[in-house]
């Protein structure tokens, strides 16, 4: 893609539409989303010479009941029951590919399904097969500030330039880019976004009151792609900007204020999705100020949203960020459970409790949060961090889908029980009352959207996993490659190389950064690069407890913080036991001597050395594979990734050397292979 283009097409380059564009297509359906499908088809046909003024058709895309169907399509309908919101049925017989949906959103998703299939959509016979999103809510939360924050900038933890919505205190008004974003989201299955940061500052607290026009304009640009807008709101908004003396959730004036503001929001944006709240966390206001609890706070907002069909997403990320490092009984990992489990069953039906995947904070390796097994009466959403705050900040290749798949497939109630995917998506055919999946967006106004071009794959994978959480992560990467590099002359070779570079990149990152689940040995503040003791004597609750004898946090019931007891059996016993605890989580749950022997026979200290040397070697190998792709991908994209690989390698070496040196100095144990430790 040439630089002349304002922004990269990501997974929707024109070439991805070749197979559809060369066919004769009939679109049946009304309303703006069906209009979007018609435009897409027309654009592809203009480019690739297809199109038809009448039958026979190669492709029929229809919303049920919107017009007389050709015979083949009728036959497919006859075989299918009701499909449901956003779903579609796809099948092919007698040379006709048919996509049917109950609603126009389903038609749009069905269209992009055909695009993904490419020529396979028009080959042989298949289906009919029903496709339905596992989760109703598939939302990306943008940590975008309207005003530039003095420390966090325009986008908090953003690694891809400025916000696509806001600049220097105002809406950018670049709705072409917002529309293009909506289109990318529809093509991977995301159906909602939050347009501002969960840390809500003064200007952003006014979005629902004084700056609704800006939000409505974004909502209008996204509507044709089935993407709804949410707002992060400040719990203290009734006081400022509201002017009331209190924001007490049980105060009638406060409740009336939120009801009034919410009615205004819906008047401007009829399909508004809801509110997202970070309360009593890292300095954000919340119900504790008024002696009330999280259920009081969440239910108050839920009552304001309920008449309009909106939801409140309340984050479970609540902990004491002013802890005394000397105090070993307080454990940040315990906090979400301790705060929220007693409230199970007390939240209104339109409250979703949004839970980070691990108990601490988006580290490259954490156990799955114990909340997922502990709140059966609450709608839980899984929160994933697509933006790579702790996973290389979009300067390192770190393909996150394999990590997310592990989380989604984990069975919190024990082997054979429901997995996390089931717990957060429920059974969409019946209640539709699941929590869903939320991702913290990695997008900015960078040409490639995500800073690192290969980080686009994380955004794509988030959407695809939110739609079908059990899809194999390598298959998702495969789709992404096929679409993004549809213009490639030798796609098979490129596919092979990109898999080799990306499939294992999360584990590579884990190897040169955080061994055995220890986490948070990052530079305080920006969280980039190593600083082993950077957080060790701070109030943030993120420690490794390394001394001359050993390393790791004792979270056992027997001798530690008791965090293992927040899991049901068997996990409470597995994690408690030094013998049974999985090695990759060993230092998360146990403080062990450097000589502790892992399952593969290596000691902990030797494992630290080995993985740090190996991690750097893996980066070297990936970088040289990428160099081999010069000429196989667009030169600008190639150059961007090459530059980033140089930085990744520099940083990986820094990690290796600081970690190895630190633990060598602490332990005095030399590397068994005599490699260079400083
Ligand atoms: O990981 C931490 C980040 C904060 C972020 C917080 C959260 C938005 O360092 O920047 O604040 O998580 O999830 O609320």
Specify the pLDDT at position 670.
98
Residue 440 CA: nearest ligand 1 atom is: 13
Q: Ligand 1 center to residue 388 CA distance, Å?
A: 12
At 189-205, the pLDDT tens digits run: 999 999 999 999 999 99
**C-alpha–C-alpha distance, residues 114 and 22, integer Å:** 13
pLDDT of 73: 82
Neighbours of 657 (CB within 10 A): 16
Residues 306 and 375 in one domain: yes
User: Which of the 8 DSSP states describes residue 355?
Assistant: E
CB 115 within 8 A of CB 483: yes
Q: What is the CB neighbour count within 10 angstroms for residue 580?
A: 11
Residues 615 and 467 in one domain: no
pLDDT for the residue 491: 97
Per-residue 3-state assignment (H helix, E strand, C coil) for 37-98? HHHHHHHHHHHHCCCCCCCCCCEEEEECCCCCCCHHHHHHHHHCCCCCCCCEEEEEECCEEE
Cα–Cα dist 448/456, whole Å: 8
Contact by Cβ (8 Å): 53, 60: no
Which residues are registered as beta bridge partners of 193? 140, 229
Domain residue limits at 86: 14-131
The CATH number for 92's domain is: 3.30.379.10
Within-domain flag for 500 = no
Closest CA to 562 of 335, 358, 364, 325: 335
CATH number at 544 reads 3.90.1330.10
Are residues 155 and 52 located together in one domain of the fold?
no
Phi, psi of 127 (to 5 degrees): 70, -155
Q: What share of the chain is helix, strand, coil (3-state, %, to 5)?
A: 40, 15, 45
Same domain, 358 and 307: yes
Report phi then psi at 388, rounded to 5.
-90, 55
More confident residue, 143 or 173: 143
Same domain, yes or no, for 357 and 379? yes
342 Cα: distance to centroid of ligand 1 (angstroms) = 24
Examine the domain organization and report whether 480 and 529 are in the same domain. no
Residues 451 and 476 in one domain: yes
Exposure string over 6-34, b if 16+ CB within 10 A, otherwise e: ebbbbbbbebbbbbbbbbbbbbbbeeebb
Find out whether 89 and 78 touch, Cβ atoms under 8 Å: no
What is the domain count for the chain?
A: 3
CA–CA distance, 331 with 328 (Å, rounded to integer): 7
Report the distance separating Cα 204 and Cα 455, nearest Å.
Answer: 28
Structural contact between residues 64 and 112, judged by C-beta atoms closer than 8 angstroms: no
> Given this model, what pLDDT does residue 432 score?
56
Question: Is 160:442 a contact under the CB 8 Å cutoff?
Answer: yes
* Domain presence at residue 162: yes
Question: What pLDDT sits at residue 433?
Answer: 80
SS3 (DSSP) at 368: coil
Digit-coded pLDDT (tens) for 301-351: 999 999 999 999 999 999 999 999 999 999 999 999 999 999 999 999 999
Rounded CA separation 652/329 (Å): 34
Of the residues 150, 152, 155, 199, which should be mutated to test ligand 1's pocket, given the most ligand atoms within 8 Å of the CB?
199
Tell me if 580 is assigned to some domain: no
180 beta partners: none
Whether residue 166 contacts residue 154, with contact meaning beta carbons closer than 8 Å, is answered with yes
Stretch 239-248: mean pLDDT, rounded? 98
Q: Is residue 575 part of a domain?
A: no
The atom of ligand 1 lying closest to the CA of 527 is 9
Torsions phi, psi of 70, nearest 5? -60, 160
Q: Which of 135, 572, 542, 557 is nearest to 374 (CA)?
A: 572
pLDDT score at 431: 52
How far, in Å, CA of 279 to CA of 273, rounded? 19
> What is the spatial distance between Cα 428 and Cα 665, in angstroms, rounded to a whole number?
54
For 505-515, the pLDDT digits (tens) are: 999 999 999 88
The CA R_g of the chain, rounded to the nearest whole Å, is 25
Q: Tell me the pairing of strands 228-232 and 274-277.
A: parallel
Residue 409 contacts residue 401 (beta carbons within 8 Å): no
Pocket lined around ligand 1, Cβ cut-off 6 Å = 143, 156-157, 198-199, 278, 317, 361-362, 389
- The interaxial angle of helices 401-409 and 456-467, nearest 10 deg, is 20
121 with 145, same domain?
Answer: no
DSSP string, 403-434: HHHHHHH--TT-TTS--HHHHHH--TTTT---
- Looking at the structure, tell me whether residues 46 and 162 fall in a common domain: no
At 360-403, the pLDDT tens digits run 999 999 999 999 999 999 999 999 999 999 999 999 999 999 99
CATH number, domain of 198, equals: 3.20.20.80
Ligand 1 pocket: which of 141, 154, 157, 388 to mutate (most atoms <8 Å of CB)? Answer: 157
Domain-located, residue 674: no
- Per cent of the chain over pLDDT 90 is 94
Among 152, 282, 383, 542, name the best residue to mutate to test ligand 1's pocket (greatest count of ligand atoms within 8 A of Cβ).
282
604-627 vs 491-502: helix crossing angle, rounded to 10: 160
Domain end (from 85, 116, 131): 131
* 427 pLDDT higher than 90: no
User: Comparing C-alpha atoms, which of 24, 177, 41 is closest to residue 110?
Assistant: 41
Distance separating alpha carbons of residues 181 and 441, to the nearest angstrom: 12
Residues 167 and 238 placed together within one structural domain of the fold: yes
Look at residue 78 and tell me if it is in a domain.
yes
pLDDT at 2 over 60: no
pLDDT given for residue 78 in this prediction: 77
Q: What are phi and psi of 236, to 5 degrees?
A: -85, 5
Are 208 and 314 contained in the same domain? Answer: yes
For ligand 1, the distance from its centroid to the CA atom of residue 335, given in whole angstroms, is 15
Q: 211 lies in a domain?
A: yes
d(CA 491, CA 397): 20
Query: Where in the sequence numbering do the catalytic residues fall?
Result: 282, 361, 389
What is the C-alpha separation between 621 and 138, in angstroms, rounded? 35
Q: What backbone torsions phi and psi does residue 260 show, to the nearest 5 degrees? A: -65, -45
pLDDT tens digits along 543-601: 999 999 999 999 999 999 999 999 999 999 999 999 999 999 999 999 999 999 999 99
Q: Are residues 440 and 537 in the same domain?
A: no
b/e for 419-456, b at 16 or more Cβ within 10 A?
bbbbbbbbebeeeeebbbbbbbbbbbbbbbbbbbbbbb
* Domain termination residue (choose one: 131, 155, 184): 131
Span from the CA of 369 to the centroid of ligand 1 (angstroms): 17
Number of H helices, E strands in the chain: 19, 19
> In what helix (H) or strand (E) does residue 231 lie, and over which residues does it extend?
strand 228-232
Structural domain includes residue 391: yes
Domain boundary among 82, 113, 131: 131
Q: Ligand 1 centre and the CA of 519: distance in Å?
A: 15
**Closest ligand 1 atom to Cα of 390:** 1
Residues contacting 65, CB < 8 A, separation 6+: none
């Amino acid at each position: 893609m040439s630089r002349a283009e304002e922004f990269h097409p990501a997974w929707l380059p024109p070439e991805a539409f070749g197979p559809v564009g060369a066919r004769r297509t009939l679109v049946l359906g009304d309303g703006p989303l069906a209009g979007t499908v018609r435009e897409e088809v027309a654009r592809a046909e203009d480019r690739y010479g297809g199109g038809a003024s009448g039958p026979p058709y190669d492709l029929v895309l229809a919303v049920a009941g919107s017009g007389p169907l050709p015979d083949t399509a009728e036959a497919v309908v006859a075989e299918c029951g009701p499909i449901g919101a956003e779903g579609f049925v796809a099948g092919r017989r007698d040379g006709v590919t048919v996509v049917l949906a109950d609603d126009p959103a389903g038609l749009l998703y069905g269209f992009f399904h055909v695009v993904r299939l490419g020529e396979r959509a028009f080959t042989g016979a298949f289906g009919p097969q029903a496709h339905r999103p596992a989760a109703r809510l598939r939302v990306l939360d943008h940590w975008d500030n309207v005003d530039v924050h003095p420390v966090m900038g325009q986008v908090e933890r953003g690694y891809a330039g400025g916000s696509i919505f806001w600049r220097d205190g105002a809406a950018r008004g670049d709705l072409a880019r917002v529309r293009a974003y909506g289109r990318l989201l529809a093509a991977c299955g995301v159906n909602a976004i939050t347009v501002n940061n969960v840390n809500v500052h003064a200007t952003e607290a006014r979005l629902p009151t004084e700056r609704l026009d800006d939000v409505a304009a974004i909502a209008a640009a996204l509507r044709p792609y089935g993407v709804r807008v949410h707002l992060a709101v400040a719990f203290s908004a009734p006081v400022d900007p509201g002017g009331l003396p209190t924001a007490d959730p049980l105060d009638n004036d406060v409740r009336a204020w939120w009801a009034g503001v919410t009615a205004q929001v819906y008047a401007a944006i009829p399909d508004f999705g809801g509110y997202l709240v970070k309360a009593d966390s890292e300095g954000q206001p919340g119900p504790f100020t008024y002696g009330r609890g999280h259920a009081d706070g969440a239910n108050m907002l839920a009552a304001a949203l309920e008449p309009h069909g909106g939801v409140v997403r309340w984050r479970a990320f609540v902990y004491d960020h002013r802890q005394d490092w000397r105090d070993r009984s307080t454990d940040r990992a315990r906090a979400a459970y301790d705060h929220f489990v007693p409230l199970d069953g007390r939240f209104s039906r339109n409250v979703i409790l949004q839970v980070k995947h691990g108990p601490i904070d988006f580290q490259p390796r954490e156990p799955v949060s114990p909340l997922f097994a502990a709140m059966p009466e609450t709608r839980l959403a899984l929160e994933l961090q697509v933006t790579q705050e702790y996973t290389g900040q979009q300067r390192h290749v770190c393909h996150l889908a394999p990590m997310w798949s592990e989380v989604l497939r984990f069975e919190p109630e024990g082997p054979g029980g429901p997995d996390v995917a089931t717990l957060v998506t429920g059974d969409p055919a019946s209640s539709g009352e699941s929590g869903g999946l939320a991702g913290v967006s990695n997008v900015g106004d960078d040409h490639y959207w995500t800073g690192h071009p290969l980080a686009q794959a994380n955004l794509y994978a988030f959407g695809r996993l939110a739609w079908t959480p059990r899809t194999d992560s390598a298959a998702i990467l495969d789709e992404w490659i096929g679409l993004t590099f549809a213009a490639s002359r030798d796609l098979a070779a490129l596919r092979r190389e990109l898999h080799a570079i990306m499939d294992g990149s999360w584990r590579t990152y884990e190897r040169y950064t955080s061994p055995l689940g220890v986490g948070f040995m990052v530079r305080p503040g920006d969280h980039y690069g190593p600083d082993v003791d950077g957080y060790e004597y701070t109030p943030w609750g993120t420690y490794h407890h390394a001394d001359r004898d050993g390393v790791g946090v004792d979270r056992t019931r027997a001798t530690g913080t008791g965090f293992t007891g927040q899991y049901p059996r068997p996990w409470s016993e597995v994690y408690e036991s030094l013998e049974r605890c999985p090695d990759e989580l060993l230092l998360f749950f146990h403080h062990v001597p450097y000589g502790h022997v892992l399952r593969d026979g290596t000691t902990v200290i030797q494992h630290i050395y080995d993985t740090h040397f190996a991690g750097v070697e893996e980066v070297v190998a990936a970088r040289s594979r990428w160099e081999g792709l010069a000429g196989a991908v667009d030169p600008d994209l190639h150059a961007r990734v090459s530059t980033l690989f140089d930085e990744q390698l520099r940083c990986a070496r820094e990690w290796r050397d600081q970690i190895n040196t630190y633990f060598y100095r602490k332990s005095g144990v030399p590397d068994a292979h005599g490699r260079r430790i400083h």
